[in-house]
Amino acid sequence: MEYLELLNPQQKEGVINTEGPTMIIAGAGSGKTRVLTYRIAHLINNGVDPFNILSLTFTNKAAKEMRSRVESVVGTEARNLWMGTFHSVFAKILRVESDKLGYPNNFTILDADDSKSLIKTIVKEMQLDDKLYKPNVVFNRISGAKNRLISWQEYNSNPTFRSDDESNMKPKLGEIYKTYSQRCFKSGAMDFDDLLFNTNVLFRDHLDVLNKYQHRFRYVMVDEFQDTNISQYLITKKLSSVNQNICIVGDDAQSIYAFRGADITNILNFEKDYPDLRIIKLEQNYRSTQNIVNAANSIITHNKKQLRKDVWTDNEEGSLIDLLKASTDNEEGKLVASSIFEEKMQNQMLNNDFAILYRTNSQSRAVEEALRRINIPYKIVGGLSFYQRKEIKDLLAYLRFSINHHDETSFRRIINLPKRGIGSTSVDKIVIAANENNISNWDVLNNIGSFISGRTANAVMDFVDKIKHFKVEIEQKDAYEAAKFIANGSGLLKELYEDKTIEGLSRYENVQELLNAIKEFADNPEVGDKSLGAFLQEITLLTGVDNDKDDQDSVTLMTIHMAKGLEFKYVYIVGMEENLFPSQMMLSSRTDLEEERRLFYVAVTRAEKKLFLSHASSRYRYGRLENYEPSRFIDEIDPSFIKKSRKSNISTPMESVLTSSESNNGYAQNLVRGLKKQQQQNKAIKSNYTPSSDFTPSDTSSLEEGMKVEHPKFGFGKVVLIEEKGANRKAKVNFDSFGEKTLLLSFAKLKIH
């Protein structure tokens, strides 16, 4: 087996020892994905049916990558693995077993925004103070309870919870939890936490079902085990209790999600549950230089609660850590931007090679401004995802309600979209009637004449007929054909098409892109279930990083929490100050402080070649300029791995380059000239391009590659590619001032020159 020759002794041990409970402690950059991949491949190559293997990950991206790697070793049999995130795998099981819990098999999965929207509605109906009962606060309280397997019944009967809520001036939290849970159940909906909560209930109350899956999953593997919560831990423990072939992979030093319910004791105490546990330590780091690895080790040794390991590397010694000191947060942004420019110039690196990490999202402002000033493109990971845009959520709500007519959140979103004369007063009447009669909103809609009369009732009946028609299409067609029919039949596409503003064009193109995604799903030969319901489940379970498809060469900005699992050649950790990092909110206990230190360890170990730490003496917070001391974490790094602190030189990057020893370098000179030219061009470009006085859109049916065109927003450009034919014909145009854009020709306004 050739793949075994690619492994070091510890990795090989983790691959070939497949029987019995195993814990693989995987240090940062130690090749844990390779071990998991080859362990699965090894099982299949030794006769284990892939249908009997369950592999759980924390992101769809990780699952997809792992499945692809396994397939490269064992072939298409890898497609039969039960592999995915906790939520996606157990959603699949709940679809099959839903009747045992009283749910329809086409239950809706609510994302966080949907859940908060429903909570906001409940708070309003209960006439509570929405400033006190903020949706985010209530949602987090309910989520925390579910992750600890506390039902609304247990919550309301527990005097400790009642006392906590009363002391926090929120005595109605238990009642909101009860109403929220009941409304979700009546709507045939589960939120993300329910997928795990209800799986535990299913296995607890239906031992025949538990027995079935215990014997199906002979081998259970869990990645990133340090991030599991109580609910996830109990599910995996139950599933593996018969065969005892459970393999967990993780690193307690990278446990940073306690605020989401992750419980580090799951990995720290794992050996207590399995006395015969085999422990394998992956300690060789393949990612970072020796200086970065050694610095990370010196940081994490300050934590008392940990599984000891000695991470090392054969990589080059590398540069010392650069410590940058600025007077203010704005100066810190300039210093970081200038440093990136210089590193790019001197080492001929891409923007993609750089990441700027921070503790809180608000810290990105000063860095963004500094990057924009010197025209370094950047992207923020964790911003508004494609699937959270209004027009996308509108169409998704139509699709979801057409499948599950009892989905209250989707009902509220689309009942008067596009406007059909059903105002908020009428919607409130429908909801009240449903609650008073203990029936669903759909039942009221189907008998609307008993509750509302006049034009509103007629509008409701038209809406009901439309939804019933959509349901028929869904049952007869694949995801794409059904979605396209609903997009047109709902009137959403028409409304967006008629909005000729730049924003309207963007919204229309976004909806077209959603339809493209559904078409890609329906055409994928690897997808077994091509129904619209299957597509909706897949995209609802996407994670933040999974949604990031921006392939432009740009510097990455993100919080450290978002950076988990990623790596970059150059990493800048900004805001290294007391009360910022470590956060002031994490200084009240050793447990919290050690989590902050693990977060710093994660940030440091994202770097491959070079690491920069920056801190400011003062920064604005809540409208006031406050003084800050350097973070204690800096002092915890062995000083032999850090360069002497240097203060910012606020000359522009170009000035510093031209006065440096590199100024005679031809590449440097050309780069500077190019940047100057680009800056001059950018100054000449207005944020909204003004089209030529004789601008009139041309007939684009004859448009060909190589033609010069003009766009009312993007200006002049050259057609570099024509894609598809007919109504979906697209053109990729390289605009002089805005780069490459892909335009739908049936809608884009282009003048051919």
Q: Which residues carry out catalysis?
A: 32-33, 223-224, 254, 606
Backbone angles phi, psi at 739, to 5 degrees: 75, -165
Q: CA of 498: how far to CAs of 188, 487, 492, 688, 714, in Å?
A: 35, 14, 10, 21, 21
Contact 25, 308 (CB under 8 A): no
Q: Which two tokens stand for residue 398?
A: 């139509």
Q: Which two tokens stand for residue 457?
A: 């009732």
How far is Cα 232 from Cα 214, in angstroms, rounded to an integer?
A: 15
- Helix-helix angle 455-476:479-489, to 10 degrees: 160
Q: CA of 654: how far to CAs of 350, 377, 526, in Å?
A: 18, 17, 51
Alpha-carbon radius of gyration of the chain = 28
Hey, what's the torsion of the CAs at 721, 724, 730, 733, to 10 degrees? 0
Indicate the length of the chain as a whole number. 753
Catalogue the E-assigned strands of 574-664. Answer: 607-621, 624-627, 646-647
Peptide bond into 377 cis (omega under 30): no
The H or E element that residue 550 is part of is: none
**What is the DSSP-derived secondary structure letter of residue 423?**
-
Enumerate residues 6+ apart whose C-beta is below 8 A from 55: 36, 40, 63, 66, 81, 82, 83, 221, 223
According to DSSP H, which parts of 379-418 are helical? 390-403, 408-414
Enumerate residues 6+ apart whose C-beta is below 8 A from 323: 612, 613, 614, 634, 642, 643, 644, 645, 646
Contact 174, 145 (CB under 8 A): no
- Helix-helix angle 192-205:135-147, to 10 degrees: 30
b/e sequence 485-494, b meaning 16+ C-beta within 10 Å: bbbebbebbe
How far is Cα 114 from Cα 111, in angstroms, rounded to an integer?
A: 5
Phi-psi region of 342 (alpha: psi -120 to 50; beta: other; left: phi over 0): alpha
Backbone angles phi, psi at 421, to 5 degrees: 85, 25
Enumerate residues 6+ apart whose C-beta is below 8 A from 251: 25, 26, 27, 28, 226
How far is Cα 469 from Cα 132, in angstroms, rounded to an integer?
A: 43
Q: CA of 397: how far to CAs of 117, 121, 409, in Å?
A: 13, 17, 8
Contact 23, 248 (CB under 8 A): yes
How far is Cα 340 from Cα 657, in angstroms, rounded to an integer?
A: 12
Instruction: Look up tokens 């247990």; give the residue.
Output: 154
Nearest to 576 by CA among 239, 329, 288: 329
**What is the DSSP-derived secondary structure letter of residue 312?**
B
Instruction: Look up tokens 């793949």; give the residue.
Output: 3
How far is Cα 407 from Cα 393, in angstroms, rounded to an integer?
A: 14
Instruction: Look up tokens 């060789």; give the residue.
Output: 284
Amino acid code (one letter) for 41: A
Contact 462, 451 (CB under 8 A): no
